[in-house]
Structures are given as structure tokens and as C-alpha cells.
Structure 1
Amino acid sequence: MNWANRGADPRVSGRSRTVATSVRTVGFCLAISALSIAQPSPAQVRQFQLNSIAIDGNLRVGDAAILTRAGIAPGQTVSAAELNAALQRLVDSGLFESVDFDPTNNGLQITVVEFPTINRISFEGNRRLNDEALSAAINSSERRVFNPAQVERDADLIADAYATQGRLSARVSPTIIRRSDNRVDLVFEVLEGDNIEIERLSFVGNRAFSDRRLRRVLETKQAGLLRSLIRADTLVEDRIEFDRQLLRDFYLSRGYVDFRINSVNAQLTEERDGYFLVFNVQEGQRFRFGEITATSDLPGVDADAYLDIVKVKPGVTYSPSLLENDIARLERQALRDGVDFLRVEPRVTRDDRNLTLNVEYMLTRGPRVFVERIDIEGNTTTLDQVIRRQFRSVEGDPFNPREIREAAERIRALGYFETAEVNAREGSTPDQVVVDVDVEEAPTGSFSFGASFSNNDGIGFAIRFAEENFLGRGQRVGVTVSTTEDSERYRLNFVEPAFLGRDVAFGFNLDLNETDSSFTTFDTKRFRFQPSLTYPVGENSTLQLRYTIEQSEMLVRDTPENGAVIGNEIAAGKQVSSAIGYQFTYDSRLRGLDPNSGYLLQFSQDFAGLGGDSEYIRTTARAVGETKVLNEEITLRASLEGGALAWSGGANRAVDRFQNNTDIIRGFEPGGIGPRDVSRSDEDPLGGNLYVAARFDAEFPIGIPEEFGITGGLFYDVGNVWDLSDVNTAGGTIVGEGGSFRHVIGFSILWDTPIGPLRFNFSEAIKKEDFDRDQTFEFTLNTTF
């Protein structure tokens, strides 16, 4: 059928639409038939002598181009079949709306009608995807030849773009409007349809883990409250494939080596507005590591010495990642020992009776292959050196396939690229390889506007700019401006992750903070500058060295109601502290043996007295442990922290001492426990030189469908803030200097909403002092738009 003016054109709808064109070949077919009537045998097939070829109707395509595409030329003798093939080649070229061959005894008349030129492309009916997004999805473009087959493919591409948004019922109808000079306007009329939600996401065959737990693993989600803000609750084929891999990784990391997914079935609801998605799985048995051994066929390599650095022990739940970590650890040790080309081959044997996997690490000599060079392509912004430093090997080093795979993962983990492919190929000689890195840049900058609310700080707003790959150097820069009813804060931070080309991160923070808290009788103003160097000292540990210079001031309000102690500290005016310090961090969550458990240890000290007005040693320590129990349905968390401030010079003020907040002990106002000056009615909180606190949390489902994102929690906190040594308390009436341990129990409702996490804490102080200020309800909301 012909493309006609709008209003008379055929409309093609659905995912199986067809864009048709007419090819006028009837005249040629009749001519061929007439010339070949009553042919007695193949030997008498009629031949055509093309003494001349005349071409008519072509405006853009030249005669020579037409003959070249047809594969014929004047003076040539062709058969009827060859002439028909030449016609078909012109039809298939996509350049002509119709082609007509009229053969004569001595020549051939070719008449063509060229496809029109696309004057303009437009879209109608699209609201969810704008014109720019749809234009990027199609291949047709303005001022090019109109091609019906290409338009058909473009309509499919538009429908696919909507399908990725969960709008599987989207329909696209291409239409043309005829213009003068053989031009057309191409219009894609879009009927977007509704989102087809996943009404129910369930599993069959799972016994070890509940549907609720497995749903948290998947990227696809069930439709729930505020589902209009969620894009993960629609049926997307690519996402389902990704979910299959996530589910396999989840089970394999927990020892289910025989796990497999039998099928994934999607069934439309009766209303045809949603899907029931069912994963049919077979878990198998859970295996643990059995006997761990090591053998070596290399002279001078002691297998027992290498076995000593293996972290995995018998009885630990089997996980392929733990095996990979040990292999990488052994090969790195070989490099440190000067053993080149050592390869570790794990030999795993099953013991079905005991449900264990015995592992033998075979230390052997790998092929003598070297890295010839590393070629990087596709990085238009990111400098080559940022990508190259993700490799532990350079040109000329022994080639290690495992290290190349790890480098590829590190490149992807940077977050700078949409895609990152790393492959090795043979180099100029068989004993050399070339590593090809092909990346596609991704946006790395962000600008966000955030809001927060709590009953301690009130309503707050924040504007933040962040660039994760500043000037393509891999540097991180962030600027934050935040304000609440009681405070204003301005912050600038910078991090260079590879200072001087080393595995050392250099950073600095500039921080200006002004507070007008309703929980104190004074205002504060602080300015801090803190440069630091952070580097790894172990597989899971880092050490930070830092210098801090800070100027702080306590300010009297318009109607001062300060006690004597706070009044003395305000009178001290601006104070400057200059300190050097360090912080050691050990985090087993980075590469822990148990995917459900981990712990964090931190210890830090700052020594002030390098100039400035203050001399002190400030020490803090923190330990946090977390685990999941009852088939990972319940999360248990415990933390213990404390601090000590040893003051030896300058004014020891409330802004320098430890003050309680809800991050230390819940159930009390900021500064609600600890020493207090009660000489005035407002009772100034003074803080203390010492504090210790322990927090215990349990988070669990409360029977509400998990698509609502609501869970419950119980908590118990105990702690104390005390000691006013080296503090001028003259003229004040001090209570709580010696301190006592306060105890708080509470219940939490946690709501993980698309606009941010909400937490409601209901608490009761079961042991407190008369002068403490408790807080039975706390509500917080943090979100970024």
C-alpha cells in the first residue's frame, strides 16, 4: 500500500506493526511472462540484449548508481531470471518507492519513483518519555531518505523504550504527511498505556529462606504504597535476567552449590493490568568447607607456609567469593616472595555424606606470559592514569588473568562509566598479551536538594553539589549548604584517592557551623580545617593521619539566662585549637567470612597543643557488630563506644566536652544527661570529659507486606556522661558530675519510603536522674530530591 496524506494513510498499531510500500512490478512480470510463453525447454530460454538502458524518474540517485545497484550494464546479455534479480536488488536497496522494468527487443526502460525525503520528525501522545528521549531511540533522521522498513524498526524501538518503563501495552502508529518537492513529515503517534505492575512476586521450592527474604535480594519489586514513585515494580525482561543472577549469587554465597532456577513464569491478572511473577527454584543442600590443604609442584615453594595465610577454615559456610579471595591472597604472597607465574588451582571434592567441600590449593607454574601493553579507549573525560592505576600490573609484568579480572571489577566500581569491558588478546609474540580496556563515560556530577525533619533540630534543608570525577582525575569534590531551625552549616570537602600516584588518599574538609539550639542557653560558631592522609595497613584496615585547626566561640544570646559555669566559658571568647591525630579502622564487612555478619572497630586520638589556645588529648573508641539470624529475617546489632578528654591547657568549655545526643543514647534530649548547672532555671547542660554508651538493636518484620517498606525494631541503650575535671565551676551549682548509668528501652517503626527513610522511636527511660531531660518520642526524615 502507498503512504498517502494524513487522514488517508493506513495506521499500524501494536508490537507487530508493518510499514508497507508498493512496488509496481506488474508491467515487468507481464512482459517477462509474454516473452517466455511456450518455451519448450531450458535450452531455449529467451536472452535479452541490453543495447541501451534508459532510466526515468530519478532525481537524487544518479543513473550510474542505479545500474551499479542493479548489477547490469548496456551491451550486456541477460536472461529473464537475471533481469528479475536486478529488479529485486533495486527494490531491496530501500531507495525507491516503486521500480518498473520494461524490456524491449534491443534495450530496457527503467522507471523509478524515489522515496521522499524526511522533512520533519515529530511525536504525539508521549508524556512519560519526552521528544529528546524518543529521538535518541530511533534511527530515522530528518533530511534523509524515508525508508518504510526503517520506520517499522523505529516504531519497535519506541515501543521497547516504553517496555523498559513497564508500559508493555504501549502502541506506536507511524504516519506520514506529504509535502511539496517529494518531502514528507514523519509522525509517530504514541498510545502510552498504563504501567503493568507486578502484583505479586513469589517463589516455589524455597525452604531455607522465606519469600520475604528472597524478595529483598531481587532488583524487581512488588507494587506497593507510593508505587507511582517506584520503577522497579514493573515487568522488564532485562531486569528479570539480572534478578536470576542475583538469586544465584545469594544462594551460592550461602553454601547452596546445587542451587538452580528451574523457571521464571509471569502470568497476567484477570484484569490484565498486572502480573504474578513466580520464581521456581531448587535449593539443594547447604555445604561447608571441609579439609583445607595445599600442595606445590614448584621447587623452593613451601605449600605449608602458604597454607598458613589462608583465611578460610573447616566448618565455614562455602562461598565462591571466599575461595577467590584466598587464591588472590596466595598469588599476591607469591609476588612478594619473588615467585613469578605462580598460579593457584583449587581442586574441590564433594563429601555428600558430611555435606562438605574439601579444597586443595595446588600451587603450580603458569605459562610464561607477559603484559605487552594496556590499551584504553572510550574515555573522553577520564584520564588514562585514573584507569591504569586500577591495575596492579604494568607493561612488562607477568600476566595474571585473575588480576586482570579484579582490575576490571575495580574499574566498574569507580562509578565513572556506563560500561567497562576489559579483555586480553595475544600480543606481538605468543608470550605476550595486550590488555584492551573499552569504556563508555557516565555522568559523575550531581546537584541535589534535600530536606530533613526531627523533633530535635526541626525542619531543615540542604543543597549539595558533588563531583566524583573532578576534571577526569578521579578526585571527589563536594559542597554542602544546610540549614535547620537551630543551625547553619557550610562544608567543602576534597579527596584525591591516589596521592602522588600511591595508594594513599589525601583529603581536606572546610567546615563552618553556627548553632542556635533550643536545648542550650548559648549560641556557637565554629570554623574547622582538617587535611588528612588515609592509607591501607591491612586487608580490612586503614589508618588516617590528620591535622585539625579549629576556631570556636560561645556566644551570649540577647536575653542571657546563663549559669555561672557557662558564663565563664562564654567570657573566654574565641579559642583556637591546633591538633594532630590519627584514626585506625578495621572493617570485616569488606571481606568477611560470613555474608550475614560483620564488625567494625575504630580507635582515634587527637593531640592539641601545636600552637593555639588549647592543650588536650582526645581519645575515642567504637566497636559495632551485626548479624542476621532466623534465616536472615531478624537483624541484631550491638555497639559499644566511649571517649576521654584529658585537658591540660586553655579553657575547657561545653563545646569541647562530650555531649549526649541520639547517636549515643536515645530517649533523652541533646545534652539531656550528664553534669548540669542548676543555679538558674534553664539548667545549662555542661557535658563531660568522659562518656561510655552501649546500644543494642533488633530489627524484624512486623507482618506488614514488605512492599510497604515498614519494619519494626526494639532497642536498649545504657550509658553515662560524667567528669568535670579541669573545668572552672566557680559560682555554679553542679549536679551529675559523678554520673550514673542511664537505661532506656524502646520500640521503633522504620519506614523505607521512596522519598527517604523515616524512623519513629518510642522510648522509656527505666533509670534516670531527676535533673535529666528525657524524650519519649523521636521522629526523623532524611531525603534528597
Structure 2
Amino acid sequence: MTYDEQRAARAKGLRRSLIVPAATALFIGVSGASVIAPAAAQAQSYNFSSVQIVGTEKIEAATILAYLGFGKNETVTAAELNDAYQRLQGSGLFDTVELQPRGRTLVVRVQEQSIISRINIEGNRRQDDEDLTALIQSRPNQVFSPATAQRDAQLIAEAYAAEGRIAAEVTPKIIRRGGGRVDLVFEVTERDNAEIERISFTGNRAYSDGRLRRVLSSKQAGLLRRFVRSDTYDPERIAFDRQVLTDYYNSRGYIDFEATAVAAEVPQSRDGYQVTFRITEGQQYRFGEINTISEVAGIDVAEFDRESRIRSGNVYNPADVDRAIARMERLAVQKGLNFITVEPRIERNDRAGTLDLTLAIVRGPRVIVERIDIEGNQTTLDRVVRAQFQTVEGDPFNPRQIRAAAERIRALGYFSDVAVEAREGSARDRVIVDVDVEEQGTGSLSFGASYSTTAGFGLNASFTERNFLGRGQYLSAEFSGGRNARNYSFSFSEPSLFGRDLELGVSAYYRTTSATSSANYATTGLFVEPYLSFPVSPSSRISVRGTVQGANMYNVAANSSNILKAEAARGWQVGAGAGFTFTFDSARTALDDRTRYFLQFSGDVGGLGADNQYLKATALARAQTKLFNDQVTLRGAVEGGAIYSISGNGTRITDRFALGTDKLRGFANYGVGPRDLSVPNLDGLGGNYFVAARVEAQFPIGLPEDYGISGGVFADVGSLWGLDNTGGGLIDDSFYLRSVVGASLFWESPVGPLRFNYSIPVVSQGYDRESRFEVTIQSSF
């Protein structure tokens, strides 16, 4: 029997036993919080010579008399007697209170509140007892309160609703143990998650429902997703998505966009939501006239104007304005100009659909950062958080830099919540920056499986800690292996050496391979690389490194090329080396994900101290953009490389290039390039030079977007050529371009991203080894 049922039965029994004369109908027995008003309140007075108290065990009689508020032989009106009843009932000491006048004797019958012996939560499988108990206010050895128990049940139900179980029911019950003590039990019926059955939009003209659904973090559960990837309704995620929509439209020139309302309707079955975003797009704007002015004497306006880098006619994006202001204010700091801020002044031209932008250089308020206080970091050291600030104590206060620091702290991934606020310090011209963080797990231990048509099945296990010992250091150890290969790797890095944007790290691996159809030999390799990385601009970095690299080649098949046999005869070769890598990534400073550029150039000298000394250089240019209202993603890449032997012994196949499927689809590993045509194996020997270009488009294919399935087409072209030893002309190492076209199917499956490629070689050589079909999948569990 629930507590409400017990209370109702007790109240019914009490009403039957009450003696309520018509003249004293004011005094009605009550149960719990129920109060029955008197049928008639007559002007009557009482004079009691004695008070009889019934039902007390722990409460002293003097306490009850104090709540009554009148003494023996005092005249009491009916209203005053009612007030005494209300005081007793409202004291919180009693479960029930009855006042029964019997002549000159007042009988006070009470039932004291019970004490909670223990609290149990039953039926909860999805949430731990400890987590739910922390939510409730009822506690053992405290007075039991029905109202508090009901509120606690609601809090538990809300915890389940937050994870999508909106139909969960929580019922509080009591079990009486005697001696005025009870056990409080919360019975939980969890039920299934409530899925988002449908996400729709009203008012959108520029972008389709499907495109906007891909922007949101919330996903709807379609026919397929009910079985493999159901998503749940989360009010906090919906609120986040509302802001995501606003940012999406604002970054595309719709400055008046509003998500006016979000309606979440629950069907009668209570097993899902239908979410509708009501939006107003407004007009799209482009940049009009761009001007820079200065209200501070002695500033070269032209120099600052060059830092804006905003072009008239481009679609308006507030992020472009923020980046321009950041560059100009950074220039001011470099010139020693303190308290300089840049104000964006925008003038609308609705008819032309343009926004004229004036960037005004002004003298800001002379406010100093007095202190930066960091709280909530139990594991992470203060210096890790402070390293994200370009501002230190004593510097001029710049709100834009503080906001940028807050974003960098969030980007670390160490904290589930970050709040950065400024408040007035010890004087009006000083501020204190408060940083309040909430830590989250940063380590992971994963086990996974992988499959590809080229490498077959494989297993992997890894341990990763992104905030090692709270120092912001990265530590990783990994094993991966399959039928023909084993790889053990380790890496460690300190991203803020000496408190600066200097990354010091080391990477190492040990790898073995066995003979396969594409490589008729086995190899063992090791590699150790300490490196130092530092920025040279907001978008580019340089990494310098030293290397120790070794390789051995053995078990060469008898019918393989003499070139391979000669290289295997050289045995283990371990040598030192050094190199550098320059990278440019527009994503480091661009918030717009529609277009991204990536450039990389590397140069190395290796094999020093061994017989395979070489110089090696590689270059890569990659770009991605989105077209047709972001429906189509277009990607392109061009890369190439060269290796040159400086020892006179020629390069080894373990150092030369091979065009794998990551560079040229449609062909097997070592399927193209220099080949020994004089042996049955037709061994692929790798090449000293390679070049490859790829272009592909990914787009919807008409299936519901919640399936996570899209299509694509691609075209690749490339060549691998050049050897130091051609075996007296038996080896063809000429430059031959190969080209392929193909189609892809992408699926964001519940076990990881899955991709199917079908390639058709258009231009190839007769001895090339094709691999038309490829499927790759990788998952961790």
C-alpha cells in the first residue's frame, strides 16, 4: 500500500471515530496534510480545567501545551481553539492531530511523525543508487515528511527524464517498523527511452529541413535507427541546438535570424517526441564598404587596415569581424599601444542587402587585470588553465581576449563546464577574472576491431590520457595487429613547455609484417622521434625533430626480384636523422566550416650511421568546401614526394614510397609503380618519386538523414616511378600516370564510420594489380 493509500484509509477510520458535536463542529480530526473545514463556526467559548494528551512517545507534554497557547481555566473561543489546532498541525512534529472537547476536559490526540530508519531505491537499473540518493532531501534518522518524499520522487523522475526516460514513474512507500520508525522506499519503473520521432522546421526557405537537421546535435530516430542507433530527447540538447541554428544562420549572413519557439509534443503513447523549430530567417546580407578609422592620434591607419582582410561582397559573417578585430588589437599590443580597442560600427542597407563596416580604433577604458582566480580544478593544475590566457595579472583588461581564453579552455576537453567572468576588483579601474571549471574524465581504455579488404581483420587496444597527472600532458600507448602485421606504439607530449605555446614530445613504434600477396617478404622496423613544435603564425606551425630509425627485411621469396634479395642482404640498418614539418591549417583561426585549407611540407635527412642515407621531401595541399546550400561537400588534394640516396648504396624499399589506397584508389598496395617483370612474382618495388591528385564529392542520396547514409563520387590520378637500380633494364621504372573513377557509400553506423568504395581504373598498365572494391570500418568498445 502506498503512503497516500495508507493515509486515506487512516483518515477514513479517524473520521468514523471522531466525536463532533454540532456545537463544536470546528474540531475535526485530520490525517497527514488533509484538513476538513468545520461545517459551521459558531460563536462559542470553552473553559478547560484539564488537558488530556494521548499518543505521545517522544514529545514532552509541555511542548504540546506550549503550542496550545492557553492555560488551565482560561476562557477560549472557537477561533482560538482552531488557531491552537493549526499551530500543532503546522509544527511538523505530528502526523495527525485531533482536538476533542469533553466537558471541561480537552483531549489532544496526536500521532507523532515517524523517524526514517533507512532509504531504499528499488527497480533502478539504469542509474546508480548513489547518484539518485544524492538528489533527494529525505535522510535517515530524520523526521519523515510526506511532502518531502513526494518532492524526492519527482526529483528522481526528473533525473530519468533528463536521459530521455520521460515515462519513468517513481512511487514513494513507507514500511512501518514500530517504535515510531519507518523505512522509506522509492519504487522506480524506468520504462524505455523516449526517442525523438521527428524533427521539423517552419519558416525556413534558404535551407531544407534535411540540411538543418544535419546541423543539430539532436537526431531523430527513423525506421533503421530504432534498431541500431536510437536517439533520446534531451531538453538541454534542444536548447543547445537552438543556439547552434542561430550561429549557423548568422555565419551565413542572416543577421536577423531568430528561432522564435521550439515545440516538443509528446504523443499519447509517451514513447517519443515530435520537435518543431519555428524560425524566422530574415534577409541575407553581404559586406558592403569596409573602412578603418582611428580616433587615437599617431596611429598608421593603413597598417591596421591591412589586418582586416575582409572583402566587400563576401557573405557577412560575424566571425570574420571578430577575427579582424583580434588581428588589429594584436597588432596594437605588438606596437606597445595599451588600452586600444577596435569597435565595429555597422550600417545596414536593406535595399541593397549589404552591411557597411567601419572598424574604429579607439582608446578603451584604463582597466587593469588585478587577479585571475581559478576554482573547481581538483586534478588539473592552475598553470594548465592559466596557459590559455594571453593576459596575465597587471595587463590591460581586454574582454575579447578573456572570451578567447574561455574558448581555449573549453577546447582542451578537460572540463565538462567552463565559466569565465570578470568582476570589479579592489578599485574601479581593476578587475578580477573568475574561472570556474568542472572537471571530467580525460582518460580512456579502449578495445576495438577493424576490417579492410586490403589488410583483413585486426584487433587493437589502446590507453590514452589527455591530461596526464593534471599537467595537460598527452600520453598514449597502443597495440594493433592482424594476420600480417603487428604494431606497438607510444607517444607523449607536453603542449605548454615553459608555460608557452611550445609542444615537446616523443613518438615511438615497433612494427613487424609478414609476407603477403603484395609483398613477398617480411619486415621489422623501429622508430623513435623526439620533436618540438611551435607556432609561426595563428594558422601555421613548424615542428623540428630528431629520429632514430631502423629496419630489417628478411624471408624474401625465392622467386622474388634480385633487387629485393640484395636489399635484404644488407640486414639490419639503424641510423639517425633529423627533419622538420611546416603546416598551415585555416581551421585554426576560421570558425566557418564551409571552406578549409590545409598545407604541409616536410623535409628529412635519415640513415646517418647506416648504409641507407637519404634525403626525403614530401608536400601535401588539401582543401574542402561546401556547395549548394551545404548539401554537397567537395574535397580535393594534391601531394607528392621524393627521396634521394646520398650514401651511394641506393634506397631501400622500407624507405621508398608506395601508392596505397589512401593516395590512389582502385589499386592494391604496391599495385602500381616500378616492377621487376623478369620474375614470376612481378614484385612491386616502390619508387623514389610519387605524385597523386584526388577529388571527391559527398552528397545526400535521398535516404532519410537519420540513417546516416550518404553517397559520393571520386576521381584519382597518380604515378609512382624512379629507382636507383633497374637491374640492367629488367625493371620498368618509367613515369606512367594511372587514373580511376569510382563511387562511394558512407554510413555513420553504430559500430563506427563505414565506407564502401568501388573503383574503375581508366588508365593503367598491364602488370598493375587492381583492387576495385574496398570497405573499411573501425570501432572501439
TM, length-normalised to structure 1: 0.89
| Partners of 1:386 and 1:82 in 2: CA distance | 67
Q: Does the 8 A contact of 1:312 with 1:322 survive in 2?
A: yes
> In the alignment, what sits opposite 2:404?
406
> In the alignment, what sits opposite 2:26?
none
Greater mean alpha carbon deviation, residues 488-497 or residues 603-612: 603-612
> In the alignment, what sits opposite 1:123?
121
Alpha-carbon displacement from aligned partner over 1:218-275 (angstroms, at most 9, x marks no partner)? 111111324355353x333222211111111100010001112233233445766444
Q: Does the 8 A contact of 2:195 with 2:230 survive in 1?
A: no
Greater mean alpha carbon deviation, residues 595-604 or residues 303-312: 303-312
| Partners of 1:423 and 1:255 in 2: CA distance | 29
Matched, 1:37 2:44: yes
Matched, 1:484 2:451: no
Matched, 1:204 2:202: yes
Aligned in 2, Cα 1:733/1:79: closer, same or farther, shift over 3 Å?
farther
Aligned in 2, Cα 1:160/1:301: closer, same or farther, shift over 3 Å?
same
| Partners of 2:55 and 2:172 in 1: CA distance | 30
Aligned in 2, Cα 1:335/1:102: closer, same or farther, shift over 3 Å?
farther
| Partners of 2:52 and 2:324 in 1: CA distance | 76
| Partners of 2:75 and 2:718 in 1: CA distance | 100
> In the alignment, what sits opposite 1:761?
757
> In the alignment, what sits opposite 2:671?
672
* Aligned-partner residue type, residue 660 of structure 1: L
Which residues of 2 match residues 542-557 of structure 1 at below 5 A? 542-556=541-555
Which residues of 2 match residues 494-643 of structure 1 at below 5 A? 494-518=492-516, 519-556=518-555, 560-592=558-590, 595-608=593-606, 610-643=608-641
Q: Secondary structure at the match of 2:735?
A: coil
> In the alignment, what sits opposite 1:658?
657
> In the alignment, what sits opposite 2:414?
416
Matched, 1:279 2:277: yes
Aligned in 2, Cα 1:359/1:49: closer, same or farther, shift over 3 Å?
farther
| Partners of 1:718 and 1:176 in 2: CA distance | 75
Which residues of 2 match residues 304-453 of structure 1 at below 5 A? 304-453=302-451
Aligned in 2, Cα 1:629/1:51: closer, same or farther, shift over 3 Å?
same
> In the alignment, what sits opposite 1:17?
none
Matched, 1:183 2:181: yes
Aligned in 2, Cα 1:712/1:638: closer, same or farther, shift over 3 Å?
same
| Partners of 1:229 and 1:89 in 2: CA distance | 59
| Partners of 2:426 and 2:76 in 1: CA distance | 52
Note the C-alpha offset of 1:481: 1.1
> In the alignment, what sits opposite 1:709?
708
| Partners of 2:552 and 2:410 in 1: CA distance | 46
Q: Does the 8 A contact of 1:53 with 1:74 survive in 2?
A: no
Q: Does the 8 A contact of 1:291 with 1:359 survive in 2?
A: yes
Aligned in 2, Cα 1:593/1:480: closer, same or farther, shift over 3 Å?
closer
Q: Does the 8 A contact of 1:9 with 1:176 survive in 2?
A: no
> In the alignment, what sits opposite 2:692?
693
> In the alignment, what sits opposite 1:43?
none
| Partners of 1:680 and 1:547 in 2: CA distance | 39
* Aligned-partner residue type, residue 707 of structure 1: D
List alignment gaps of at least 5 residues for structure 1.
11-19, 39-45
> In the alignment, what sits opposite 2:19?
none
Q: Does the 8 A contact of 1:618 with 1:643 survive in 2?
A: yes
Note the C-alpha offset of 1:782: 0.9
Note the C-alpha offset of 1:515: 1.2
Q: Secondary structure at the match of 2:736?
A: coil
> In the alignment, what sits opposite 2:744?
748
Q: Does the 8 A contact of 1:578 with 1:614 survive in 2?
A: no
Which residues of 2 match residues 25-104 of structure 1 at below 5 A? 37=44, 57=56, 59=58, 88=86, 91-92=89-90, 94-99=92-97
Note the C-alpha offset of 1:675: 0.7
Greater mean alpha carbon deviation, residues 127-136 or residues 669-678: 127-136
Alpha-carbon displacement from aligned partner over 1:173-203 (angstroms, at most 9, x marks no partner)? 2211121333322222222333333222222
| Partners of 1:58 and 1:470 in 2: CA distance | 59
Q: Secondary structure at the match of 1:684?
A: coil
> In the alignment, what sits opposite 2:242?
244
* Aligned-partner residue type, residue 278 of structure 1: T
> In the alignment, what sits opposite 2:730?
733
Aligned in 2, Cα 1:65/1:409: closer, same or farther, shift over 3 Å?
farther
List alignment gaps of at least 5 residues for structure 2.
11-29
* Aligned-partner residue type, residue 673 of structure 2: G
Aligned in 2, Cα 1:5/1:350: closer, same or farther, shift over 3 Å?
closer
The number of residues matched between the two structures is 757
Aligned in 2, Cα 1:92/1:488: closer, same or farther, shift over 3 Å?
farther
Alpha-carbon displacement from aligned partner over 1:494-536 (angstroms, at most 9, x marks no partner)? 1111012111111111211111252211111111111111111
| Partners of 2:551 and 2:4 in 1: CA distance | 78
| Partners of 1:63 and 1:485 in 2: CA distance | 85
* Aligned-partner residue type, residue 322 of structure 1: D
* Aligned-partner residue type, residue 283 of structure 2: Q
* Aligned-partner residue type, residue 632 of structure 1: D
| Partners of 2:609 and 2:598 in 1: CA distance | 34
Aligned in 2, Cα 1:190/1:271: closer, same or farther, shift over 3 Å?
closer
Among candidates 750, 759, 766, match of residue 770 of structure 1 = 766
Note the C-alpha offset of 1:73: 11
Note the C-alpha offset of 1:103: 10
Note the C-alpha offset of 1:673: 0.4
Q: Does the 8 A contact of 1:446 with 1:466 survive in 2?
A: yes
| Partners of 1:644 and 1:237 in 2: CA distance | 55
Greater mean alpha carbon deviation, residues 367-376 or residues 177-186: 177-186
* Aligned-partner residue type, residue 677 of structure 1: D
* Aligned-partner residue type, residue 117 of structure 2: N
Q: Does the 8 A contact of 2:466 with 2:474 survive in 1?
A: yes
Among candidates 300, 303, 307, match of residue 302 of structure 1 = 300
| Partners of 1:249 and 1:556 in 2: CA distance | 59
| Partners of 2:134 and 2:558 in 1: CA distance | 64
Aligned in 2, Cα 1:9/1:552: closer, same or farther, shift over 3 Å?
farther
Q: Does the 8 A contact of 1:200 with 1:275 survive in 2?
A: yes
Q: Does the 8 A contact of 1:6 with 1:178 survive in 2?
A: no
Aligned in 2, Cα 1:377/1:269: closer, same or farther, shift over 3 Å?
closer
Alpha-carbon displacement from aligned partner over 1:357-390 (angstroms, at most 9, x marks no partner)? 1111122122111111111111111111111111
Note the C-alpha offset of 1:639: 0.4
> In the alignment, what sits opposite 1:22?
32
Q: Does the 8 A contact of 1:572 with 1:651 survive in 2?
A: no
Residue identity (%): 46
> In the alignment, what sits opposite 1:152?
150
Q: CA RMSD in A?
A: 3.4
Q: Does the 8 A contact of 2:166 with 2:270 survive in 1?
A: no
> In the alignment, what sits opposite 1:780?
776
> In the alignment, what sits opposite 1:41?
none
Note the C-alpha offset of 1:664: 0.7
Note the C-alpha offset of 1:730: 4.3
Q: Secondary structure at the match of 2:158?
A: helix
Q: Secondary structure at the match of 2:720?
A: strand
Note the C-alpha offset of 1:277: 2.5
> In the alignment, what sits opposite 1:265?
263
Aligned in 2, Cα 1:388/1:593: closer, same or farther, shift over 3 Å?
closer
| Partners of 1:178 and 1:531 in 2: CA distance | 69
Among candidates 167, 192, 195, match of residue 190 of structure 2 = 192
Note the C-alpha offset of 1:570: 0.9
Greater mean alpha carbon deviation, residues 207-216 or residues 149-158: 149-158
Aligned in 2, Cα 1:52/1:365: closer, same or farther, shift over 3 Å?
farther
Q: Secondary structure at the match of 2:351?
A: coil
Note the C-alpha offset of 1:119: 2.9
